[in-house]
Amino acid sequence: MSNALEKINNFFKEKSWIKVFLIILMLMFVSFQLRAQTADMKFAQDNEFLKDMFSDEHGRMYLLALDPYYYLRLSENLYNNGHCGDTIKVVDGKETPYDLYQYAPPGHPLPWEPPVICLATLAIYYIWHSIDLTVTIMNAAFWVPAVLGMLLGIPIYFVVRRVTNSNIGGIAGAIALISAPGLLYKTCAGFADTPIFEVLPILFIVWFILESIHSQEKTALFKKDLKNPISLFVIAALIIELIIGAYLNIASGESVVIASILFYTVSLAFILAGLIIAGIKKLKGNELEFELFALLAVILTAVSPKMWGAWWYGFDVITAFLVIYIIALALLKSQVKIKEFINIGNLKNIVYLSIFYIFGSFVLLVAIYGMGIAISPITSPLGYNQILSTYTQTTGWPNVYTTVAELAKPSSWSEIFTNAIGSDTIAIVGILGILLSFLSLRYEKVKLDIKYSILLAIWLAVTLYAATKGIRFAALATPPLAIGLGIFVGQLERFLKMKSDIAIFGIGIPAGIFGLLILSKYSAKISQILLPTTYVPIIAYGFLIVLALLAIYKISDIISTLNDKKETIIKVSTLLLCIGVVIPPLSAVVPFSVAPTFNNGWKEGLDWIKANTPNNSVITCWWDNGHIYTYEARRMVTFDGGSQNSPRAYWVGRAFATSNENLSIGIIRMLATSGDEAFKKGSVLMNFTHNNVSKTVKILNEILPVDRSKAYDILTKKYGLSDKKAKLVLNATHPEHPNPDYLITYNRMTDIAPVWSMFGFWNFSLPPNTPNDKREKGAFFKGTAYYLGNGTILANVNVYTYSYVTLINSTNISTAIVQKINGQAKIIGTFKIHKLYIKTPLGVKELVLNKDGQLSEFIRIEADGRGYAWLATRNLEDSIYAKLHFLDGYGLKHIKLVKATIDPTDFGIQPGFKIYKVDYGTDYLK
């Protein structure tokens, strides 16, 4: 046995690349496994009904979140139409792909060039569909982030390994990134959105730049024969990229799609070829030319603008690093006395490298995108605060961004660190690792190496600053913190390998004990960590095989050192240290599950709209699910997640919050037919009021509920508009041929009533920057109701920590506020109800109970015995939403329920996904 283990150990030492290859495979498998957990639908807890509701006919789960459905629709359009539009329209004299449904009417034009995520989706679809004909484009889109996420750990591992020469550190850093909760959620299977492209490019560019710096420290630049194969490869690649990029820049029409695919394909081919060449040269023991990795960095930088709009921040970080590093080297080179303590790179070579990267990237960017994008790394940071301020800026209209959770400013550094890397502890260790990165233990004696600390410090400072402006940017700080953690672990291993007693007994043994304690604490989760999902068996069991091979190697490696106690302690303690570091973050994300929003109940309703409504129909809805509605129903929506911050937030909120049905249908009629024409900048009313939003809104709220002739009188007699201008306004507010409209409510709208009602009650006379908590808003509190027989109903609604109980019988209505005190329910008072609605299969009963009551109550008893109850703030007691969703349109003349389906996404009425037809009538045209 010992001989076999010795042979295994010698084999891995002789062919060290196999160990590196297995580590890379392990990291890729771990990343995929963590991200694939969503496919198991653990949220359903083995409830087959829920599993069926959230999956297609083949049992494959629907996409998560909301925005992925926008890219899914574009992907299907690209597959079916050859471009991402729903149709082709002539815009400014040119044929242009056109999105008919988003923010419609009128919709908007799209670029010919398809988003990268759409191409990635179709690439996976073509491969998978060729094997399984049941696969849909949605199924392929589901796996895009998980497949691309397999690449996340690779650059982290190599960067940390380059800094510390430690595989243990590289593994720890890579897993810290892979398992970071904020990043995991936005790159898990099903979240087919762009966040994966916010992180991947800069990770690889940083890796390529550092490898290029390392290579130039050992090789002379531009002193080789230009006929050298690597030189020829670099020159050829740059020329080909330049030609294809230039063609992409000047291409038009459908040729842009072909040019885009060609550009991405060729760029990917060059990157893969470069990595293969580097791997082969490494295996042969040859030094790598700096130009090879510099070329890969340039190509990836040129592709980055197609992946994410804020790509420039990565370019700026690297450029700033190169400039500062050059200055630092220039200063250090003059200090003869400290040269032996500092690893000083060749200043001339670094200058050449910087020129190659910055100038090469600039040339390609100009060729591909034009000067505007090429200089955006300079211009964009100048307007960065302005970009971030769009989330909090005040205009005449309400700012929806102030209510979007991920755009909120973090309240503390702890919140930033938790969102970035999972915990304060990991973040602090990561920062310590960045500080320690200037200490090089790769050599026989301790030296200083400043390049890594400069790069990581700049990277972390920039991303943490961005995170202070909006919590969604915290994930940008994940990579430098993960690298810092890996460096910290790697530096400890390097220190231990110096074999001093201080290191072994002061760090080695405590590190081993730490690892054992972590193993003991998380022992119950080890099986979940090793096998979080078996949804893709080849990956699941492939990971276990790779891990087993690495374990065999490590055991043989430890056994081979048993004659050297210090070496044995070092190997055991570093292994346990790595285990102790990676287990907590891994255990925090297993099991991991997220339920989709889209489901078969909603699908049934939206399919009904698709099959039974005219093509020019509009869906009026709150913005959050707009992308889902346009995807499945293929009908226009008022606004969605890509257009939520618009005046329509006020108008749609107003349509739901008002108790005036005529005003509500007037708003819906206006938005469905003319969109923003009546109130956009440059419109008749905005010009008349000198861009006074408050006055424009006041006028519209007066004319929308009344018929055309009365509205004409208001405009001309009260406000003094000319006949021509008044008629132009009325063409937008009282159109002769309005688009049909269908209103949608669903159960979660009850929960978010404080948001849409705040916009609906928006007081434009208040200062625009008035905090949201100082503005009027309404709310509903959900509960249950029970029919006890003999006309008796009991309702119970939880309001924060109290239970509001209502008992109704044929002679009396009584209320009580109940609180649990020491486990015992105790009545602590009563509450006054202003208005009470009771809906039963026999009809709706409406009662005014107390004129001073600040709460109103809705009680709904179904024929099958189910009961619901809601307490409402008084300002929403007669709202259009309440009458629609709770009372199925009771008291309304022009908005009728036409379809209701199951809504499994939130507690509330069932069926709770409701579609209403808006009947404008013809009286408004009088």
Average pLDDT over residues 453-481: 90
Measured distance CA(731)–CA(725) in Å, rounded: 10
Inside any domain, residue 757: yes
Residue 402: pLDDT above 80?
A: no
Residue 69: pLDDT above 50?
A: yes
Tell me if the bond preceding 841 is cis, omega within 30° of 0: no
Inside any domain, residue 879: yes
Cα angle, residue 700 at apex, residues 698 and 704 outer, rounded to 5°: 130
pLDDT digits (tens, 9 = 90+) for 519-560: 999 999 999 999 999 999 999 999 999 999 999 888 888 888
What six digits make up the tokens of 165?
Answer: 């020469």
Question: In the prediction, which pLDDT does 222 show?
Answer: 47
Residue 868: pLDDT above 90?
A: yes
Terminal Cα distance for the chain, rounded: 98
Average pLDDT over residues 249-263: 86
Average pLDDT over residues 419-425: 89
Give the list of residues 6+ apart from residue 67 with CB closer than 8 angstroms, or none.
193, 627, 641, 642
Measured distance CA(669)–CA(666) in Å, rounded: 5
Q: What share of the chain is helix, strand, coil (3-state, %, to 5)?
A: 60, 10, 30
Q: Which of 63, 69, 192 is closest to 123 using CA atoms?
A: 192
Look at strands 855-861 and 833-840 and give their pairing.
parallel
In order of 347, 361, 569, 654, the CA distances from 648 in angstroms are 57, 41, 67, 9
Query: Is residue 288 a contact partner of residue 211, using CB atoms and an 8 Å limit?
Result: yes
Extract the runs of DSSP E, i.e. beta strands, from 4-47: none
Which residue in this structure is represented by tokens 């510099």?
294
Look at strands 833-840 and 824-829 and give their pairing.
unpaired
Least confidently predicted of 217-221, 481-485, 498-502? 217-221
Inside any domain, residue 41: no
Cα angle, residue 695 at apex, residues 693 and 701 outer, rounded to 5°: 100
In this structure, the chain runs to a length of 926
Q: How many CB atoms lie within 10 A of CB 713?
A: 13
Tell me if the bond preceding 410 is cis, omega within 30° of 0: no
**Dihedrals phi, psi of 416, to nearest 5 degrees:** -65, -50
Question: In the prediction, which pLDDT does 443 show?
Answer: 60
Measured distance CA(797)–CA(806) in Å, rounded: 9
Residue 908: pLDDT above 70?
A: yes
Measured distance CA(431)–CA(423) in Å, rounded: 13
Question: In the prediction, which pLDDT does 377 show?
Answer: 85
Tell me if the bond preceding 911 is cis, omega within 30° of 0: yes
Residue 785 β-bridge partners:
795
Measured distance CA(765)–CA(199) in Å, rounded: 43
Measured distance CA(642)–CA(628) in Å, rounded: 12
In order of 428, 441, 454, 479, 687, the CA distances from 449 in angstroms are 21, 9, 10, 20, 63
3-state SS of 295-349 is: HHHHHHHHHHHHCCCCCHHHHHHHHHHHHHHHHHHHHHHCCHHHHHHECCCCHHH
The pTM score is: 0.91
Residue 391: pLDDT above 60?
A: no
Mean pLDDT estimate for the chain: 89
Which residue in this structure is represented by tokens 């004299």?
93
Inside any domain, residue 192: no
Measured distance CA(384)–CA(462) in Å, rounded: 11
**Residue predicted with more confidence, 236 or 153:** 153
In order of 17, 223, 281, the CA distances from 285 in angstroms are 11, 21, 6
Question: In the prediction, which pLDDT does 448 show?
Answer: 80
**Dihedrals phi, psi of 482, to nearest 5 degrees:** -65, -40
What six digits make up the tokens of 38?
Answer: 């969503």
Question: In the prediction, which pLDDT does 218 show?
Answer: 59
Which residue in this structure is represented by tokens 């589901």?
142
Surface-to-core class of residue 80, CB atoms within 10 Å of its CB (0-12 exposed, 13-18 middle, 19+ buried): exposed
Measured distance CA(441)–CA(106) in Å, rounded: 63
Measured distance CA(888)–CA(884) in Å, rounded: 5
CA torsion 570-576-579-581 (nearest 10°) is -80
Q: How many CB atoms lie within 10 A of CB 737?
A: 6
Residue 153: pLDDT above 90?
A: yes
Q: How many domains does the chain have?
A: 1
Tell me if the bond preceding 377 is cis, omega within 30° of 0: no
Inside any domain, residue 79: no
Average pLDDT over residues 20-36: 96
Question: In the prediction, which pLDDT does 191 show?
Answer: 93
pLDDT digits (tens, 9 = 90+) for 809-836: 888 999 999 998 877 888 888 999 999 9
Average pLDDT over residues 80-108: 91
Inside any domain, residue 756: yes
Q: How many CB atoms lie within 10 A of CB 918?
A: 22
What six digits make up the tokens of 896?
Answer: 């009728």
HSE on the CB side for 398, CA within 13 Å? 28
Surface-to-core class of residue 41, CB atoms within 10 Å of its CB (0-12 exposed, 13-18 middle, 19+ buried): buried
Q: Is the dihedral of CA 299, 304, 306, 311 positive or negative?
A: negative
DSSP state of 596: -
**Dihedrals phi, psi of 816, to nearest 5 degrees:** -155, 145
Measured distance CA(699)–CA(686) in Å, rounded: 11
Q: Is the dihedral of CA 586, 589, 591, 596 positive or negative?
A: negative
Give the helix/strand (H/E) hosting 36.
helix 16-36
Tell me which residue range forms the domain holding 917.
750-925
Inside any domain, residue 412: no
Inside any domain, residue 839: yes
pLDDT digits (tens, 9 = 90+) for 154-210: 999 999 999 998 999 999 999 999 999 989 999 999 998 888 999 999 999 999 999
Residue 715: pLDDT above 60?
A: yes
Least confidently predicted of 13-22, 297-306, 322-331, 869-878? 13-22
Residue 487: pLDDT above 90?
A: yes
Give the list of residues 6+ apart from residue 93 with CB closer than 8 angstroms, or none.
none
Average pLDDT over residues 127-147: 96
Average pLDDT over residues 108-123: 93
Least confidently predicted of 409-423, 688-702, 710-724? 409-423
Give the list of residues 6+ apart from residue 339 with CB closer than 8 angstroms, or none.
332, 333
Measured distance CA(849)–CA(332) in Å, rounded: 84
Question: In the prediction, which pLDDT does 228 show?
Answer: 74
Surface-to-core class of residue 926, CB atoms within 10 Å of its CB (0-12 exposed, 13-18 middle, 19+ buried): exposed
pLDDT digits (tens, 9 = 90+) for 653-666: 999 999 999 999 99
For the CA atoms of the chain, what is the radius of gyration? 32
Q: Is the dihedral of CA 231, 235, 238, 240 positive or negative?
A: negative
Question: In the prediction, which pLDDT does 352 show?
Answer: 86
Question: In the prediction, which pLDDT does 283 show?
Answer: 75
Look at strands 87-91 and 94-99 and give their pairing.
antiparallel
DSSP state of 61: B
